[in-house]
Amino acid sequence: MKKVTTSVLLKMKQERQKITVLTAYDASFAKLFDEAGIDAMLIGDSLGMVLQGEDSTLPVSVDDIAYHTRAVRNGTSRALVVADMPFMSYATPEQTYPNAAKLMAAGANMVKLEGGEWLLESIEGLVKRGIPVCGHLGLTPQSVNVIGGFKVQGRDQEKAQKMISEAQQLERAGIQMLVLECVPTNLAASITEAVSIPVIGIGAGNKTDGQVLVMHDMFGISANYMPKFSKNYLAQTGDIRKAVSAFIDEVQSGAFPDESHSFAD
Ligand code: KIV
Ligand code: NA
């Protein structure tokens, strides 16, 4: 079984093969997702909401993510393992390096950071030190208090332009993957074309290079509310493994997300 690496994901983008990603937090689900053929797994700070029952991702610690990253690593043989850096764990480059190192030591292949321009120095520093980085633009839930709620981002022309240029800046700084959350389909398509790295969407339409969902939303079992862009694959299949395969099939064929799970301009 060929391991999924950053170069495999890059090639998938170039060959227009869709990339499938789910969040995972433990070894049993990681193994099930890995066996189904999921390309990457994200230990998201969404665990604050779906595992810990908090109403935002802010209370999550680096140790929380490291603990779950170790568990996911132990259940994974093929997929790329990406760990979220939690709120304020990368406020400065000096704070970023030891915290990212902890997540890599716990078994991550890549770390994910939320934000644009202000992160360029940290991203360059991480990549130079051997740590691959995934960016995250659009709705960045760690900034929910600044944004003023979980809302679609980039709807006005100026903010859309800024997001495109930030994606390009992040790419120049060295990110090897980008998550776009809650942005209109056309903007996500423009960003996907504007960069050469794989772009993974969530609530960003079906023109991106791949899709990610929070596993609890994909199974329809989240403690909190279910976002509009998510789809309950367990309801339609009645079986956990079939649900994962249906998600993979629909992402690969471009059937998911359809318009009812996307945002128009
Ligand atoms: O924390 C998370 O699960 C995420 C995904 C929604 C991309 O960041
Ligand atoms: Na996250």
Domain annotation covers residue 111: yes
> Average pLDDT in the 75-82 region?
98
For 106-141, b/e burial (b = at least 16 CB within 10 A) is bbbbbbbbbbbeebbebbebbeeeebbbbbbbbbbb
Whole-number pLDDT of residue 45: 98
Domain annotation covers residue 79: yes
Give CA–CA dist 134/85, Å, rounded. 10
| pLDDT above 90 as % of the chain | 97
What is the CA(25)–ligand 1 centre distance, in A?
12
Probe ligand 1: pick from 50, 82, 214, max atoms within 8 Å of CB?
Answer: 214
Instruction: Point out the ligand nearest to the CA of residue 210.
Output: 1
- Complex-level ipTM beyond the 0.85 threshold: yes
Whole-number pLDDT of residue 225: 81
Q: Which domain holds residue 24?
A: 6-261
Whole-number pLDDT of residue 81: 99
Probe ligand 1: pick from 41, 114, 181, max atoms within 8 Å of CB?
Answer: 181
Give CA–CA dist 178/180, Å, rounded. 6
Domain annotation covers residue 64: yes
Domain annotation covers residue 57: yes
| Residue ID of nearest Cα to ligand 1 atom 2 | 44
Whole-number pLDDT of residue 251: 98
Domain annotation covers residue 245: yes
Condensed to tens digits (0 to 9), the pLDDT of residues 98-155 reads 999 999 999 999 999 999 999 999 999 999 999 999 999 999 999 999 999 999 999 9
Predicted confidence (pLDDT) at residue 265 exceeds the cutoff of 90 = no
Whole-number pLDDT of residue 1: 80
Domain annotation covers residue 179: yes
Condensed to tens digits (0 to 9), the pLDDT of residues 152-207 reads 999 999 999 999 999 999 999 999 999 999 999 999 999 999 999 999 999 999 99
Give the chain's domain count. Answer: 1
Known catalytic residues? 181
Domain annotation covers residue 12: yes
CATH code: domain of residue 64? 3.20.20.60
Residue 223's pLDDT band (cuts 50, 70, 90): confident
Domain annotation covers residue 1: no
Helix, strand, coil share of the chain (percent; to 5): 45, 15, 40
7 has binding-site annotation: no
pTM, rounded to two decimals: 0.98
Average pLDDT, the chain: 97
- Which residues line ligand 1 at a C-beta cut-off of 6 Å? 23, 42, 44-46, 84, 179, 181, 202, 212, 214
Instruction: Point out the ligand nearest to the CA of residue 44.
Output: 1
Contacts of 186 (CB under 8 A, 6+ apart): 205, 207, 265
Predicted confidence (pLDDT) at residue 226 exceeds the cutoff of 90 = no
Give CA–CA dist 140/127, Å, rounded. 22
